[in-house]
Amino acid sequence: MTPAAGGVIAGGLVQPDQPVGSPRRRAAVWALAGAVAVLAIAVTSVGVAIAVKSGDPVAGPQPTESSAPPEQPFPADAPATVAGAGPCILVPVLSSFENSDMVANLAAGYNAVPRDVDGSCVTVSAAKDKSGVSATRAADGFADLPADQRPVMWIPDASSWLSAARTQGASSVPAEGTPIASSSVVLAMPAPLAETIGWDTDAPTWSDVFDAADDDAVWSDLDHPEWGAFKLGKTSPLVATSGEAALLASFDAAGEGLGSSAASDIADGDRLEAVRRHELATSHYMATPEHFLWHAREAEAHGSSADFLSGVIVDEKSVWDYNRGIVSRDGVTRTQGEPPRDPLVPIYPSDGFYAADNPAVVLDGDWIDEAERAGADDFLRFLGTAEAQQIVRDSGYRDLHGDLAPTVQDIGRLAEAPDGAVALPGAKEIAALHDSFAEVRKRASVLFLIDVSGSMAEAIPSGQSKLDAAKSAIIAALDHFSAGDEVGLAAFSSAGDANLTPGLVTPVADIAENRDALVAAVGTLAPQSFTPLYAAVDQFTTTQAAAYDPDRITAVVVLSDGANETAVPLIDEAGLLAKLGELHHHSPVLVFTLAYGADADIATLQRISAASGAHFYDATDPAKVTAVLGDLVTSF
């Protein structure tokens, strides 16, 4: 296989601004303390795993298959004969949600054998957070944590988050990291859909993907009207790497091809308009790929995964997880079930695809002492060893040679050596991409529907009432919306009759015009009596459906702290769920539900959200309501 213009480095990712033999690039890839001399050999010899592409070709002759040296084996780990003395050096490592399993497995592998760093034993611990949230926390020096709990090392799933953190002022984050694994970002489709459209054998371009998503008749033209419109799932580019890759691919498709978009291109008016049109095909955004895939399994259990999605832009590892029956409702906890009836087919677009490089960096914060830095450097050394790279493969990732574990490849239906892997761009492009999202994302029409039953007067540990804490969370959530988004407010209780009170408080309208009215209206909410949950969801979902616009994400956000309670029943749960399911097929209104407080009816709220194709959020700890509601509104 002959590498494409741009050259190849470990893991198969192109780096447009660096020659293949660049010492600086080699150092960035293999900055493993205590083993530089050995690992430099490996770096110069991993260039044939994956052919890659670049927007900026590298000058000079390019290697060919016949001239490339064979891959050298990874160096063996070098554990101590006996562990150093205690207390052990503690090395907290922060990962992304997407690569958290791999990082936890690597930490366990490192901890499983004796370590001695300057006479001390070493223990590595692993924590996780959303990529975008971690970047913002890094910019604030992880001030949300006590100094002794702040991360010493950060392993996001892509270097783009290092750039994002530094753009926000994170001086503790190095500009470059050491890649430890890779996972390509692909279009994943349920097998029957991929086979029907023919993309399982004849890969489309990204333009083909966006064109299909914009064609309401694509499935009916292929004799499958029951699949409805082409439903394309994406994560938010402000939160997840797959969202960044999806948005970049959209800009690239509107320009000169994958990897071609400079910061100035991303700001170009014509490109912005083209991407804005592409985004109209998005069903809605979510914070992690797991959210979409959980809903796909739920849809399959009640009929067909095609009822929820036609395709979703995710990383290869997520495809492997889904096909072996692992799903996650919240992106945090994962459950193992039976494999799906319709596995996902990963599709590698013919014009290329972005790949996440999982860079490890030792942070340079003032909370890190020399012993912790030495322990982190030793863990960094371990990450490039044969033992660690086996863990990488077993965890569903490509190792630094671009290789997968055979079982991962088979179950995930992943390509052995796909052509076209492209590295995510540099800091300027990533900053421009994030800035562009507010302009190009699909606009929303959202009604906040708040439970104001008597129990909302109860105090929580902060000293606030539950309702006051919810008010603060709603006002904070309004900052996510921008001009063109339509937002309204309703609240529900009753005095024992059939009337919902206070009902609609602020009509749904452009937030550029009614934000002040919304804030003022939130302040007027007061606890009342009963909890007519079913009637409130029924009434206001029907109202939103009547104003449904396919060019908007139409939603109701329900925040409730209790079970349905009314003296005059107007609709029961079965009737409500049937109605939501019917609406989902012709004027889909997403009903996002948030369980608030320990007495919330979690099971019912989960069924309501699932029936509408939306997501359930857990704020049963009322202190977390602002964070949880902030997570929820990333769906818009």
Give the span between the Cα atoms of 597 and 281, in whole angstroms.
Answer: 36
At 553-575, the pLDDT tens digits run 999 999 999 888 887 788 899 99
pLDDT for position 69 = 61
In sequence order, what E strands does 214-279 have? Answer: 232-235
CA-CA-CA-CA torsion sign (631, 620, 331, 636)? negative
Residue type, 356: A
* pLDDT band per the 50, 70, 90 thresholds, residue 471: very high
Fold of 183-355: D-Maltodextrin-Binding Protein; domain 2 (3.40.190)
- DSSP label at residue 478: G
pLDDT greater than 50 at residue 38: no
Fold of 85-181+357-400: D-Maltodextrin-Binding Protein; domain 2 (3.40.190)
Give the span between the Cα atoms of 413 and 510, in whole angstroms.
Answer: 45
List Cβ neighbours of 27 (8 Å cut-off, separation of 6 or more): 36
At 369-409, the pLDDT tens digits run 999 999 999 999 999 999 999 999 999 999 999 999 999 99
At 598-611, the pLDDT tens digits run 889 999 999 999 88
In sequence order, what E strands does 471-606 have? Answer: 486-493, 501-510, 553-560, 590-596
* Spatial CA neighbour of 22 closest among 51, 49, 47, 4: 47
Instruction: Provide long-range contacts, Cβ within 8 A and 24+ apart, for 201-209.
Output: 203/347, 203/348, 203/349, 203/350, 204/347, 204/349, 204/350, 205/253, 205/349, 205/350, 205/351, 206/249, 206/250, 206/252, 206/253, 206/258, 206/349, 206/351, 207/253, 207/351, 208/349, 209/311, 209/349
pLDDT for position 9 = 32
Residue type, 162: L
Mean pLDDT across the stretch 513-522? 96
List Cβ neighbours of 83 (8 Å cut-off, separation of 6 or more): 114, 115, 116, 121
Q: 65-79, 331-345, 535-549 — which one is most confidently predicted on average? A: 535-549
Using only C-alpha atoms, the chain has a radius of gyration, in whole angstroms, of: 25
Give the span between the Cα atoms of 526 and 211, in whole angstroms.
Answer: 48
Give the span between the Cα atoms of 509 and 487, in whole angstroms.
Answer: 6
Mean pLDDT across the stretch 164-191? 96
pLDDT for position 71 = 76
Give the span between the Cα atoms of 6 and 425, in whole angstroms.
Answer: 13
pLDDT for position 216 = 86
pLDDT greater than 90 at residue 20: no
Q: Which of the residue ranges 70-74, 119-123, 328-332, 541-545 would you say has the lowest mean pLDDT? A: 328-332
* Spatial CA neighbour of 608 closest among 535, 543, 551: 535
pLDDT greater than 70 at residue 586: yes
Give the span between the Cα atoms of 589 and 613, in whole angstroms.
Answer: 8
pLDDT for position 328 = 83
List Cβ neighbours of 383 (8 Å cut-off, separation of 6 or more): 32, 106, 178, 180, 360
- For the domain 443-635, what is the CATH code? 3.40.50.410
As a whole number, the mean pLDDT across the chain is 87
pLDDT for position 565 = 86
pLDDT greater than 70 at residue 47: no
42 by DSSP, 3-state: which?
A: helix
* pLDDT band per the 50, 70, 90 thresholds, residue 322: very high
pLDDT for position 295 = 84
* Spatial CA neighbour of 451 closest among 601, 239, 621, 236: 601
The residue among 244 and 328 whose pLDDT is bigger is 244
pLDDT for position 331 = 66
Q: Which pairing describes strands 501-510 and 486-493: parallel, antiparallel, or unpaired?
A: antiparallel
Give the span between the Cα atoms of 254 and 271, in whole angstroms.
Answer: 6
List Cβ neighbours of 593 (8 Å cut-off, separation of 6 or more): 558, 560, 605, 606, 608, 609, 614, 616, 617
Mean pLDDT across the stretch 40-53? 32
Domain ranges of the chain: 1-73, 85-181+357-400, 183-355, 443-635
* Spatial CA neighbour of 83 closest among 125, 115, 53: 115
Rounded to two decimals, what is the model's pTM?
0.82
pLDDT for position 307 = 86
pLDDT greater than 50 at residue 628: yes
| 40, 45, 51, 57 alpha-carbon torsion, rounded to 10° | 60
pLDDT for position 497 = 74
Give the span between the Cα atoms of 527 and 246, in whole angstroms.
Answer: 43
At 178-211, the pLDDT tens digits run 999 999 999 999 999 999 999 999 999 999 999 9
pLDDT greater than 60 at residue 144: yes
* pLDDT band per the 50, 70, 90 thresholds, residue 48: very low
- Sheet containing 486-493: order of strands: 501-510, 486-493, 444-451, 553-560, 590-596, 616-619
